[in-house]
Amino acid sequence: MRLTVHTDYAIRTLIFLAIRDEKLATISDISEQYQISKNHMMKVAQELVHHKFVISERGRNGGLRLARAASEINLGDVIQKMEADFYLVSCLDPEKNNCKIAGNCGAQTIMHEAITAFIEVFRQYTLEDAVINEKNLKKMFLTELEVSET
């Protein structure tokens, strides 16, 4: 199983915001730090805002911040919301199912069980669990002034 780049960037964005201690970050800040296209980051941010993982504050001094504490953001929820679908094969997609043997083999059930288990592992963790080395992350991303303030 594989997560999309979109979901990868969403998790990276959430980690970046988690180490900022409520300080706002712009899309430019995030895209520069991760060397990701600003346009792609904008799409990721919009979806994170839409799913209420992130709050966007408009204006000259605006930016993004987590909508709630990192300990309250479940990674399974993030992945399930950010991924367009988890259809490993066409027979799992009711709209695109063109498999002649669908419903007559055990593969559908097995694959559905595997997908469920995959998501359940992520459900055991929060964003806080993903920020295990906060001190080093802050050194990597934050300016000297911001690090000394924390």
Task: Please provide the DSSP assignment of the chain as one string.
Answer: ----HHHHHHHHHHHHHHTTTT--B-HHHHHHHHT--HHHHHHHHHHHHHTTSEEEE-STT-EEEESS-GGG-BHHHHHHHH-S---SSGGG-TTT---TTTTSSSHHHHHHHHHHHHHHHHHT-BHHHH-TTHHHHHHHHS-HHHHHH-
- The pTM score is 0.84
What is the domain range of residue 136? Answer: 5-85+126-144
Does 104 reside within a domain? no
Mean pLDDT of 41-66: 95
Task: Give the count of domains, the chain.
Answer: 1
* Position 133 pLDDT exceeds 70: yes
Q: Report the CATH number at residue 47.
A: 1.10.10.10
Q: In the structure, what pLDDT confidence band is assigned to residue 145 with cuts at 50, 70 and 90?
A: very low
Does 79 reside within a domain? yes
Does 25 reside within a domain? yes
